[in-house]
Structure 1
Amino acid sequence: MKKLFVLNNKFISKNIKYMKKNIIIKIYVLRRKNIYSDFRNALWSYTKYEILNNPVEVNGENLICEDLSSKLRMHKSFKKFCYMLSKNIKSVCKPLGGIQISEENCEFLNYWLYDALIKIKFLNDETNILESPLIEYISELWNASNCNNNCVFKKYSSSTKDLNILKELYDYSKNYSFIESNQQFHKDVQCQNQYCSYIKKVNNVYELAKSACDPKNDKAYCQILGTIPGDKIPQVFLDGYQCSNEEMNEDHIKDDKIFTNPLLASAFEDPDYTSDGQHTVDSLPQPIGDQRQNSSEGSSSNSPVKVGLSLTGISFFPLLLIYKVTLNAYLHK
Structure 2
Amino acid sequence: MTRKLKNWLVVAFLLLVVLLLFWFKASQPRVLVIQSYDTDYMWTRDVDTGLRRVLDGNLHYKIQWHYMNAKRHPDADFKRRAGMLAAREIERFRPDLVIAIDDDAQKYALKEYIKDPKVSLVFAGINGSVIPYGYHLTKNVTGIFERKPLNSLRSMLSEIRDRSGNPLGKRIVHIGDKSASVMEDSKEIEAADWSPFRLAASKHAGTFDEWKRAVAAASAGGDLILISNYQNVLRQDGREGFVPPAELIEWTEANSRVPVIGMGGFMMEDGGMLAIGASGFEQGDVIARMTSAILDKGVPAKDIPQVMPRQYLVYMRQAVMDKRGLKLPDIYEAFSRASNNYH
TM-score by length of structure 2 reads 0.29
Query: Higher RCO, 1 or 2 (CA under 8 Å, sep at least 6)?
Result: 1
Q: As a proportion of its length, which structure holds more helix?
A: 1
